């Protein structure tokens, strides 16, 4: 993919995260990519370790940190570690755990449309309504810029759940398997070329059809 020098950090247990050869290579990195698998396994192995601290420091200094599947889910401070498929949110739709903490403004769900995960993203937002929910389809990515604006690339779409105007939710009183109320929540579906500002909660949509562009303006 154009990288001139690539090395793999083969972390299998927490003690691997203190290996000086791994840390030395990591500190010199100009980009970090975290593979997929099980995000809870990733977080329980990496959390609080020297490797996690170096990754956060690199990212704070402007180094791009990316991930796929579980590697994407672990990026934020609040991570979806599990849950149920389906469109209707219930208190048991989602499990939340600490992530890497590279951002504290979003929660990410992956394989979104393919695995029907709208309900668990809505439940995550009901539990933590200061977060913006971002559901990423397969073969699709978001790129978060330094100004907290992300752009969408790929063949699928990104679903944004914006709770900034949310008025009420019954997640704290509903029975474990009951559907929950969530009112005054906004939903955006963003395709490749679109952008979303996480600070202002505004979407900018690119459309190749000039008639639609004029209408959108």
Q: Which residues are catalytic?
A: 69, 111, 138
31-34 and 64-67 as β-strands: parallel, antiparallel, unpaired?
parallel
Residue 19 has a CB neighbour count (10 Å cut-off) of 16
Q: Which candidate, 124, 130, 118, places its Cα nearest to that of 166? A: 130
| Rounded distance between C-alpha atoms, residue 49 and residue 53, angstroms | 6
| Rounded distance between C-alpha atoms, residue 84 and residue 127, angstroms | 15
CA 185 to chain centre: 19
């Amino acid at each position: 993919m154009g990288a001139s020098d690539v090395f793999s950090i083969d972390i299998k247990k927490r003690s691997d995260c203190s290996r000086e050869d791994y840390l030395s290579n990591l500190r010199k990195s100009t980009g970090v990519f975290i593979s997929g698998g099980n995000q809870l396994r990733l977080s329980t192995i990496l959390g609080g370790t020297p490797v996690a601290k170096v990754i956060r420091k690199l990212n704070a200094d402007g180094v791009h940190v990316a991930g796929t599947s579980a590697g994407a889910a672990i990026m934020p401070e609040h991570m979806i570690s599990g849950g149920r498929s389906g469109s209707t949110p219930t208190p048991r739709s989602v499990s939340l755990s600490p992530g890497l903490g590279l951002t504290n403004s979003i929660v990410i769900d992956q394989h979104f449309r393919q695995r029907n995960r709208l309900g668990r993203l809505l439940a995550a937002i009901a539990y933590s309504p200061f977060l913006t929910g971002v559901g990423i389809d397969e073969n699709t990515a978001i790129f978060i810029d330094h100004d907290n604006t992300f752009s969408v690339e790929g063949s699928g779409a990104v679903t944004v759940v914006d709770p900034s105007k949310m008025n009420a939710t019954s997640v704290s009183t509903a029975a474990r398997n009951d559907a929950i109320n969530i009112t005054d929540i906004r939903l955006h579906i963003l395709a490749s070329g679109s952008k979303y500002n996480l600070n202002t909660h505004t979407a900018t949509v690119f459309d190749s059809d000039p008639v639609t562009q004029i209408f959108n303006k």
